[in-house]
Structure 1
Amino acid sequence: MNGDLRPHPESDAADGIEYDRHYRMKYHPQFHFSHGQPFSDDDLEYLCMFYEIDDARTMAFALGKTEHVCRVKYSTLKNRGLVEYYQNRYKQKLSD
């Protein structure tokens, strides 16, 4: 992904947001509403289509999952040769 968004100490503290040592937002129930749930086909299509375009934080917010989970899932799909498959599914929906 394009890079991490650095934390904003004043507003993040007020919102209860914490970061790991890589500046990735830790799980927060208000932002990670799909935490612990499997990725849907729509989620996978979005992830594969926009992973190289969106930054980590935007992707995580859009899918309701942590940045780390999004990165791990994309890496798994890439290693299995499925990224292009899900990109094509997303593009097909646009053309329908």
Structure 2
Amino acid sequence: MYDEQGRMLYHPDFHHNQGKRFTDEETAYLCKFYATDTLKSLSLALGRLEKSLAYRIAYLKKTGLIDYYRSKWDRQMNA
């Protein structure tokens, strides 16, 4: 089932992390790939609703933390 904007509605098999706090690793992954990947695929990869990912990105942009978490992802991958 999808909403009027084409986003998948909550389904426990696909959105197993919905309602849980974002981990630093999830946030770093989101910041690294949100510009190059779709919210739909990020939603399935992280187990969260597209809407919650969009809200998270907006919050991180507003607080200026996008670059911090993006570089954190790069540091984790190079370690």
Q: TM-score when scaled to structure 1? A: 0.80
Cα deviation, residue 62, structure 1: 0.7
Structure 1 consecutive aligned stretches of length 4 or more whose deviation exceeds 6 Å: none
Alignment partner, residue 25 of structure 2: 42
Distance across 2 between alignment mates of 1:30 and 1:41 = 23
Alignment partner, residue 91 of structure 1: 74
Distance across 1 between alignment mates of 2:19 and 2:77 = 29
Cα deviation, residue 25, structure 1: 0.3
Distance across 1 between alignment mates of 2:5 and 2:20 = 24
CA-based RMSD of the aligned residues comes to 0.6
Cα deviation, residue 94, structure 1: 1.5
Q: Percent identity?
A: 35
Distance across 2 between alignment mates of 1:56 and 1:20 = 14
Q: TM-score when scaled to structure 2? A: 0.97
| Number of residue-to-residue matches in the alignment | 79
Alignment partner, residue 9 of structure 1: none
Structure 1's unaligned 5+ residue stretches are 1-17
Cα deviation, residue 74, structure 1: 0.6
* Residue identity in the other structure for 1:72: Y
Mapped pair 1:53 → 2:42? no
Mapped pair 1:63 → 2:38? no
Distance across 2 between alignment mates of 1:93 and 1:43 = 12
